[in-house]
């Protein structure tokens, strides 16, 4: 298995590197290349997860199509033949892990929706009975399903800096009341649609994050990635039991392994043994197959349409 840890494509414009994606500025459009890097606790690991970038791209493409009637998105094409001619020399690397996208101005926040009590939401609830300023019913236990999904935005931190939960009022202060209400309502609608799709297919979407951007003419777009194991908690429905942590199809497996080491969650990260890399890859592929119903092999092929 050949993994892509980073890319360097001369002639494709300025490259900006995120935790997972390498973003090339093509002038009027962007090229988003999903590497096989993986991060945990906002620290990028030194070892890649083979095929992870292809899984993220294929799953995001599925959800962008499934949810496009709720909100438009930034995707132009995933077909290398539609990319500018300067991309052709790099088609083997680009195929299956790249989206050609519309340019926009990203909103300075992550729009998180929680349907279940887990992660930082559970930690905050234990402390004060709230999540991001929202009071929840008393007596809930870890992994409980919430009475209704809640919108809990967070800051969008720079690489290496931890995101922080903020209140809806703080979000409105950053982007304006009208836009805050719009992204809140859209985020909740996206989560409900996705949950209704995933649950009969054996996956509980416990929580997820969405990102939005504005085009020059003010159109709101759903951007980045959507409902992937990197941006969501996916739990196997058959194993769901409130009252503690859950089995997962996402990178919670990796987080749990790192927690067991007593690592301080600061760079440099500890090395990942081969069995942890293989198990993480397997979980990502299982999520893809369950949610899309497609052959995993198709994702791993280098498409040449």
Sorting pLDDT into bands at 50, 70 and 90, what band is 261? very high
Note the pLDDT tens digit of each residue in 176-233.
999 999 999 999 999 999 999 999 999 999 999 999 999 999 999 999 999 999 999 9
Mean of pLDDT values over 58-65: 97
Entry pTM: 0.93
Hey, how many other C-beta atoms are within 10 angstroms of the C-beta on 64?
21
Place of tokens 């905050």: 124
Minimum mean pLDDT range among 71-75, 111-115, 297-301:
297-301
**All domains of the chain in start order, with CATH:** 106-259 (3.30.470.20)
Helices (H) and strands (E) in the chain, counts: 8, 16
Instruction: Using pLDDT thresholds of 50, 70 and 90, give the confidence band for residue 303.
Output: very low
Where are any strands of DSSP class E within 75-151?
75-77, 98-102, 105-106, 109-116, 130-131, 134-135, 145-151
Instruction: Round to whole Å and give the CA distance between 235 and 143.
Output: 10
For range 256-282, the mean pLDDT: 96
Percent of the chain whose pLDDT exceeds 90: 86
Q: Are strands 109-116 and 203-214 parallel, antiparallel or unpaired?
A: antiparallel
Give the residue-averaged pLDDT of 55-70: 97
Kindly indicate the confidence band of residue 305, based on its pLDDT and cuts at 50, 70 and 90: very low
What is the helix (H) or strand (E) element at residue 28, kind and residue range? none
Those residues whose C-beta lies under 8 Å from the C-beta of residue 33, and which sit 6 or more positions away, are: 7, 21, 22, 23, 24, 53, 93, 94, 97, 98
pLDDT of 304 over the 50 cut: no
Give the tens place of pLDDT for each residue, 38-51. Answer: 999 989 999 999 99
When pLDDT is cut at 50, 70 and 90, the band that residue 161 belongs to is low
């Amino acid at each position: 298995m050949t993994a892509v840890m980073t890319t360097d494509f001369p002639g494709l414009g300025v490259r900006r590197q995120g935790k997972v994606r390498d973003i090339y500025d093509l002038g009027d459009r962007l090229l988003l290349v999903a590497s096989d890097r993986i991060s945990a606790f906002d620290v990028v690991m030194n070892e890649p997860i083979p095929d992870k970038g292809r899984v993220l791209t294929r799953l995001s493409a599925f959800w962008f199509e499934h949810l496009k009637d709720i909100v438009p998105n930034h995707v132009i094409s995933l077909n290398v033949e539609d990319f500018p001619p300067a991309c052709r020399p790099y088609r083997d690397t680009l195929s299956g892990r790249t989206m050609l996208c519309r340019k926009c101005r990203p909103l300075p926040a992550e729009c998180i929706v929680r349907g279940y009590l887990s992660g930082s939401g559970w930690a905050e609830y234990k402390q004060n009975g709230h999540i991001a300023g929202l009071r929840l019913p008393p007596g809930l236990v870890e992994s409980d399903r919430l009475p209704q999904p809640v919108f809990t935005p967070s800051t969008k931190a720079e690489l290496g800096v931890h995101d922080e939960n903020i209140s809806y009022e703080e979000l409105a202060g950053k982007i304006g009341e009208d836009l805050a209400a719009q992204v809140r309502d859209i985020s909740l609608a996206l989560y409900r649609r996705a949950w209704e799709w995933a649950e009969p297919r054996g996956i509980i979407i416990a929580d997820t994050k969405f990102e939005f951007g504005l085009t020059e003419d003010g159109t709101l777009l759903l951007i980045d990635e959507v409902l992937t194991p990197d941006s969501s908690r996916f739990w196997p429905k058959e194993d769901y039991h409130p009252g503690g942590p859950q089995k997962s199809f996402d990178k919670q497996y990796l987080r749990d392994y790192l927690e067991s080491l007593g690592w301080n969650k600061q760079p440099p990260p500890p090395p990942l043994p081969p069995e942890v890399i293989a198990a993480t890859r397997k979980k990502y592929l299982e999520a893809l197959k369950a949610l899309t119903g497609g052959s995993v092999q198709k994702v791993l092929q280098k498409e040449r349409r």
